[in-house]
Structure formats: structure tokens, C-alpha cells
Amino acid sequence: MSKHRKHWTKAEKLEIINYYKQHGVAKTKREFGVSSTSIYNWEELFDDHGEGGLNGKKGPAKDDHSEELKQLRRENDALKKIVAEKELALRIKNELLKKSK
């Protein structure tokens, strides 16, 4: 494995993502000499954050939306757990009522 790491510009990443969407991962890897992991990571960043997600390494200023999104997901998961517990309690209550009749 090569120790030299290529740094890709935002324009190059966009070109690679577009090529990948048309031709697939194997052909893109051969054409551009980029790893499939990089392609998938860039595609995910592009899908989540648009072109701005391809600017480079994430720093504290770029993570504002990511942190907010993570917080919202945590809150959503907590609310789902609460709803699931309430639903379970209602089902148990209904079963007990059925048995007592």
C-alpha cells in the first residue's frame, strides 16, 4: 500500500462522484485511481451536505449542522423509546383487562 496520500479538490470529488453514478465503482476506481471507500464516503457527504460537504476535513466550524443533526437524532430516538414504552404499557393493560372479564 502506498504511503503517499492524494489530496482531491472539491471539483475532482464532484467529477468522481458523477462518474461513479454513471459507470459504477470498479470503473471509477480504475479511471481515477481512487479507493472505493473514498468514493462511498464522498457520495455520503455529498448526499448529506451537498457540495459544501466535499470541502475537505471537517473542522469545528463545519460541524454546526452535523452536531445539530446528531442532537436531533438522539432526541428522536429518546422519544421513540418513550412511545414504545407507552404502547407496551397499553398492550399489557388491555391484555390484563381481557383476562379479568
Indicate the burial class of 19 (C-beta count within 10 angstroms; 0-12, 13-18, 19 or more): middle
Contact 16, 25 (CB under 8 A): no
pTM assigned to the model: 0.53
pLDDT for res 58: 53
Cell of 70: 446528531
pLDDT for res 3: 56
pLDDT for res 63: 59
pLDDT for res 6: 79
Give per-10-residue mean pLDDT for the chain (101 aa).
Answer: 72 92 93 92 87 68 72 95 96 90 71
Sign of CA dihedral 48, 70, 55, 36: negative
pLDDT for res 62: 53
Closest CA to 20 of 9, 32, 11, 8: 32
